[in-house]
């Protein structure tokens, strides 16, 4: 039997900017987003992702915050197809809103973290989040912890095999603008190809990229 005591974690920060002529109009846009992406909707998103994982829901919770924001979490088991792995994982999502009266821009961020002893369906997960949140920018952090064995049975530190180079995820509509590999994890940034010029210029300014 293959020995695999490994936890794989994917943290996704999905962001978009809101531009308005006044803070009141930014607040209105935020209220619309918050109404759409309430705790019940976030919980439904997590259950959809659980189906992608072919996992079993062991328990879940969700809550809405005042004045804005929501979060949901699901505890999942990997099922019979993953008996060689540890048997529990978790999946959580939170939303954040930020604006400043001195800036014409506000920002919305959704943070989703999946920690699993099974495989990470990264491309499918990002497509699902992109549809849900109309994402302009993805910040992706993938890391692996634990030990495994090679084909000869020798124990070794687990390594993360995922490569975002040249956007090999094939995520349609996004371009890779940052890709860093630390050996045990990967950090990448994907930017939507279709954005109005003002929003793209603001992202470039914030990120300090050309």
Q: Using one digit for the tens of pLDDT, what is the confidence trace for 19-39?
A: 887 667 888 889 999 999 999
Q: Which two tokens stand for residue 133?
A: 């949140």
Contact 199, 206 (CB under 8 A): no
Given a cut of 50, is residue 82 above it in pLDDT? no
Query: Is 64 one of the annotated active-site residues of the chain?
Result: no
Tell me if residue 187 is catalytic.
Answer: no
Find the catalytic residue in 62, 71, 89, 130: 89
Where are the chain's structural domains? 4-207
Write down the pLDDT at residue 80.
39
At 199, is the pLDDT very low, low, confident or very high (cuts 50, 70, 90)? very high
94 part of the active site: yes
* The one catalytic residue among 64, 94, 178, 187: 94
Q: Which residues contact 1 (CB under 8 A, 6 or more apart)?
A: 84
Taking the C-alpha atoms of residue 55 and residue 80, their distance in angstroms, rounded to an integer, is 9
Active-site annotation holder among 62, 85, 110, 117: 117
Topology (CATH level 3) of domain 4-207? 3.60.90
Spatial separation of the C-alpha atoms in residues 205 and 2, rounded to whole Å: 48
Spell out the residues 6+ positions from residue 182 whose beta carbon is closer than 8 angstroms to its own: none
Residues 6+ apart with CB under 8 A from 13: 109, 110, 111, 112, 138, 139, 140
For residue 79, pLDDT beyond 60: no
Mean pLDDT of the chain: 81
Assign 205 a pLDDT band (cuts: 50, 70, 90).
Answer: very high
pLDDT range class, residue 83, cuts 50, 70, 90: very low
Evaluate whether 126 touches 138 at the Cβ level (below 8 Å). yes
pTM assigned to the model: 0.82
């Amino acid at each position: 039997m293959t020995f695999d005591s490994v936890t794989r974690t994917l943290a996704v920060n999905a962001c978009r900017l809101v531009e308005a002529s006044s803070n009141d109009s930014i607040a209105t846009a935020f209220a619309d987003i918050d109404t759409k992406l309430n705790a019940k909707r976030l919980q439904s998103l997590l259950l959809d992702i659980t189906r992608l994982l072919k996992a079993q829901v062991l328990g879940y919770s969700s809550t809405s915050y005042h004045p804005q924001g929501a979060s949901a979490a699901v505890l999942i088991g990997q099922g019979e197809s993953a008996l060689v792995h540890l048997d529990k994982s978790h999946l959580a999502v939170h939303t954040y809103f930020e604006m400043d009266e001195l800036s014409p821009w506000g920002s919305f961020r959704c943070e989703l973290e999946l920690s699993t002893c099974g495989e990470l369906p990264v491309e499918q997960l990002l497509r699902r989040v992109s549809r849900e949140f109309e994402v302009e920018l993805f910040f992706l952090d993938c890391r692996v912890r634990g030990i495994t064995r090679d084909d000869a049975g020798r124990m070794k530190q687990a390594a993360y095999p995922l490569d975002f180079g040249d956007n090999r995820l094939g995520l349609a509509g996004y371009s890779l603008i940052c890709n860093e590999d630390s050996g045990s994890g990967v950090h990448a940034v994907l930017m939507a190809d279709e954005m109005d010029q003002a929003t793209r210029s603001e992202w470039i300014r914030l990120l300090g990229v050309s």
